[in-house]
Chains A and B, each alone.
Chain A
Amino acid sequence: MDINIQGPKILFTIPVLGGIEISETVVCQWIFMVIIIAVALWLVRDMKRKSISGKQAAAEIIVNMLNKLVLDTMGKTGLKYAPYIGTLFIMSFMGSISGIFGFRPYTANIAVTAAFALVTFVMTQYMSIKSSGLKGWVKSYMEPTPLLLPLNIISNLATPVSIAFRHFGNIFAGTVVTALVYGALASLSAVVLQWIPNAFINSIPFLQVGIPAVLSLYFDWFGAFMQAYIICMLTMVFVADACAVEDAQNVA
């Protein structure tokens, strides 16, 4: 029984700046970027106002659902972030689910989820500066007393770390558990078949057919959807939180 759990493979190296290594993750992302962009362009082609086609209806349903979700979570001011949230959702979901097409899920790489989290972090800090001014932003780190400055900085930095680790950990755990179950099923079928005196038949891992589908249902479908939903929810909540000062001032 050999179980092989490893990081993304380096596929090729671009010979500039001392060699930039292009890993499986990046190539997978390119493939899915092309697919997502192609589908998006196909969905919005020749849109009409009346007697709409089926694909336009599908596109409208998706956009309406997204807008409703963003409106419910962030309020009216947050509606301009809906395109980013939708992109984040689709990118994360496709990344986690790419395991069922035989790719290594690119969200099982900490660099990808860290990039998602970093965008969220920059957005929250930018919104915080924009809504309360540079002075107010610095002051928000000094609350309730300047003594707590280091703790405030740590808690602000912990947010993107926890977002990145949560998404990465869930998808990575899925790949590890799936690999372990495949290994266990292979050795179990070897045990079941050992009464047949034929080395080739003994090596057929027949138990690997069908049984891992249950795991795939949970880790690939449910897990991928949940993690995409959660990373979008967290992004929306944190950004809305950073904008909240602005709203409060508008009301007052």
Chain B
Amino acid sequence: MERAIVLAASAIGAGIALIAGLGPGIGQGFAAGKACEAVGRQPEAMSQIRSTMLFGCALAESTGIYALVIAAVLVFANPLVGLL
């Protein structure tokens, strides 16, 4: 019974952790939109804008990756089951 509760709570927790995907999504969309504006204003700087945008997107992604790691730990290598 306890084990079932822990497993269910872990599954729910993993799902909730991935709500953090909202943040990077908004951030990356914002970055891409701004990059489009920048290209529209200065098409000749396109390659530089692209690499800067990709770099910024990668940095913005890290919170999402943390959530993913936590969800993966909860699903594949649950430390809470060992505490029972």
User: Contacting B76 at CB < 8 Å: which of A5, A165, A168?
Assistant: A5
User: A170-210, CB under 8 A of B: which get 1 and which 0?
Assistant: 10110010000000000000000000000000000000000
Which residues on A sit within 8 Å (CB–CB) of B66? 165, 169
Count of A-B residue pairs with CB < 8 Å: 31
Interface of A is mostly: helix
Q: Which residue of A lies closest to B76 (CB)?
A: A5
Given A162-B62, A226-B58, A230-B58, do A176 and B72 touch, yes or no (CB 8 Å)?
A: yes
Contact of B68 among A5, A162, A173, A230 (CB under 8 A): A173
Contact string against B for A residues 216-244, beta-carbon threshold 8 Å, 1 for contact and 0 otherwise: 00000000001001100100000000000
Q: Is B16 an interface residue (CB 8 A)?
A: no
Q: Which of A7, A166, A170, A172 has the most CB of B within 10 A?
A: A166
Q: Which residues of B contact A162 (CB under 8 A)?
A: 62
Q: Are A169 and B54 CB-contacts (below 8 A) given A5-B76, A162-B62?
A: no
Cβ distance A219 to chain B, nearest Cβ, rounded Å? 14
Picked from A5, A7, A165, A230, the residue with its CB within 8 Å of the CB of B69 is A165
> Would A166 and B61 be within 8 Å (CB), given that A226-B54, A230-B55, A233-B55 are in contact?
yes
The contact of B62 among A166, A172, A176, A233, by CB within 8 Å, is: A166
Using a CB–CB cutoff of 8 Å, the interface residues on chain B facing chain A are 54-55, 58, 61-62, 65-66, 68-69, 72, 76
Q: A residues near B, CB below 8 A? A: 5-7, 162, 165-166, 168-170, 172-173, 176, 226, 229-230, 233
With A165-B66, A226-B54, A230-B55 given, can you name 16 additional A-B contacts, CB distance below 8 Å?
A5-B76, A6-B76, A165-B62, A166-B58, A166-B61, A166-B62, A168-B69, A169-B65, A169-B68, A169-B69, A172-B68, A176-B72, A229-B54, A230-B54, A230-B58, A233-B58
